[in-house]
Structure formats: C-alpha cells, structure tokens
C-alpha cells in the first residue's frame, strides 16, 4: 500500500459472494461469517483497513439486523450492495 501511495484500504466481500439466491436465514449466516472474517482483517491494522459489509437482501428484516451488526458492533462504514431483483 505504501509503495503505491494508498493510505487506507476498504475491504469488502466480492459481489459473487453475496448469495442472494439462498433463503434469508442461510444468507444471513453466510454474511455473518464473511463479516467476522473481515473484522479480523481490519483489527490487524485498523489505521490502514476499514470494511463494508453485505446484506441478505432476500429478507429485509435480516438485512436490517445484519446492517446494524456490521455498523454498530463491528464498526464497518456501511454495506455494499448489488442491485437485488427477486
């Protein structure tokens, strides 16, 4: 990062790992695993790393709960979403 002049890197789950095709419960479980791992990476160097989460958009109540978790509990800056169509 220093070599190319990057001060801070935002970490996120890649769009193909959003798992919108699963049911809401499994989608939230997968997102939680991803978020906990991203939080570990951020904690390794919180000055240089931050993160955004993904949400189980197939279930609005679970999406809201996961957004609250990543922002309030993990300190993420928000969520990155692909346009969701059902």
> What are phi and psi for residue 38, nearest 5 degrees?
-60, -40
Question: Do the beta carbons of residue 49 and residue 11 sit within 8 Å?
Answer: yes
Q: Residue 14's pLDDT is what?
A: 85
Q: Kindly state the average pLDDT of the residues 23-51.
A: 96
d(CA 10, CA 19): 21
Sorted by where each begins, the domain ranges of the chain are 9-73
Question: What digits encode the pLDDT tens for the residues 63-72?
Answer: 999 999 999 9
* Apex 66 CA angle, 63 and 68, nearest 5: 110
């Amino acid at each position: 990062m220093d070599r190319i002049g990057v001060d801070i890197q935002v970490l996120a789950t890649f769009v193909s790992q959003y798992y919108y095709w699963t049911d809401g419960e499994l989608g939230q479980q997968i997102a939680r695993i991803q978020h906990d791992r991203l939080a570990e990476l951020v904690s390794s160097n919180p000055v240089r790393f931050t993160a955004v989460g993904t949400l189980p958009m197939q279930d609005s109540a679970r999406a809201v709960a996961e957004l609250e978790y990543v922002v309030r509990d993990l300190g993420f800056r928000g969520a990155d979403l692909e346009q969701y169509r059902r």
